Amino acid sequence: MPKNPQPPAKPLDATDLALVRLLEQDGRMSNAMLAREVGIAESTCLVRVRSLRERGVVRGIHADIDPVAVGRPVEAMIAVRFGGHRRSHFEQFTEEVPRLPGVLGAFHVSGAIDYFVHVACESADALRDFVLDHLTNRPGVLHAETSLIFESLRGRGTLAPPEDDPEEEAADRA
C-alpha cells in the first residue's frame, strides 16, 4: 500500500485529471472503459492508473455504505477540544481515532475546535458510550460537543467541473 504523500508532487496532465475525475465518480469503472473515455490505449491506461495509485493521487477506492443498512443509524459530528495542546496528545489521537469503531472520518483543524470526528453508531446509547469512552475520557481532551447528523450529503468531489483545459476553453469561446 503506497503511503507516499507525493514527495516530488509532479503535476498531473489533462489525461491524469480525466482519469481521476472518472474514478472519483465511479471507482469500479473498468480499465477498458476508462481508456475509451479518455482516448488512450488500454495498456497505457493501466500504467497511468497504477501510477496515480503509487503516487498517492488516488489514495484508495472504497464503497460508500449506508450506515442505516448495516445497523449504525445514528450519525454524529463531534467537535473535540484539547487542553494544553501537547503535541503527544494530538499524535496519539491522530493515530488512534481512525481505528475507533464506527469512525468514518476525522479532521484535525485550526481554531477553537481541535478535531472533528465523524462517526456512525448503533444507537444513541452507543454514541454516548463512544464519546465518553474514547473522547471525553482521554488524556488531554477538555470537551466534546456532539451534533447529531440529520442528513449526510456527498459532494461531487475534488474535480467537479469536467476539466479546465485550454482547448476546451478555446472551444467554448468559439
Query: What residues line the site for a copy of itself (CB under 8 A)?
Result: 5-6, 9, 12, 17, 20, 23-28, 55-70, 72, 75-77, 94, 97-111, 113, 116, 118-120, 145-161
If one asks whether residue 53 binds DNA (CB under 7 A), the answer comes out as: no
Q: Which amino acid is present at 88? A: S
Residues with Cβ within 8 Å of 2's Cβ and at least 6 positions away in sequence, in order, are 53, 54, 55, 56
Cβ atoms of 31 and 46 closer than 8 Å = yes
- Total count of residues recorded for the chain: 174
Segment contacting DNA by CB under 7 A, of 36-44, 118-126, 140-148, 163-171: 36-44
Cβ atoms of 24 and 34 closer than 8 Å = no
> 3-state DSSP call for residue 43?
helix
Tell me which residue has cell 467554448: 172
Rounded Cα distance between 23 and 82, Å, is: 37
Min separation Cβ 31 and a copy of itself, Å: 10
Q: Which of 31, 92, 136, 146 binds DNA (CB under 7 A)?
A: 31
Min separation Cβ 29 and DNA, Å: 8
Q: Which of 24, 37, 42, 122 binds DNA (CB under 7 A)?
A: 42
Min separation Cβ 174 and a copy of itself, Å: 24
Rounded Cα distance between 38 and 52, Å, is: 15
If one asks whether residue 30 binds DNA (CB under 7 A), the answer comes out as: yes
Q: Which of a copy of itself, DNA, none does 32 bind, CB closer than 5 to 8 A by kind?
A: DNA
**Residue 138: how many CB atoms within 10 A of its CB?**
17
Min separation Cβ 104 and a copy of itself, Å: 5
Which residues of the chain form contacts with DNA (CB under 7 A)?
15, 30-33, 40-44, 46-48
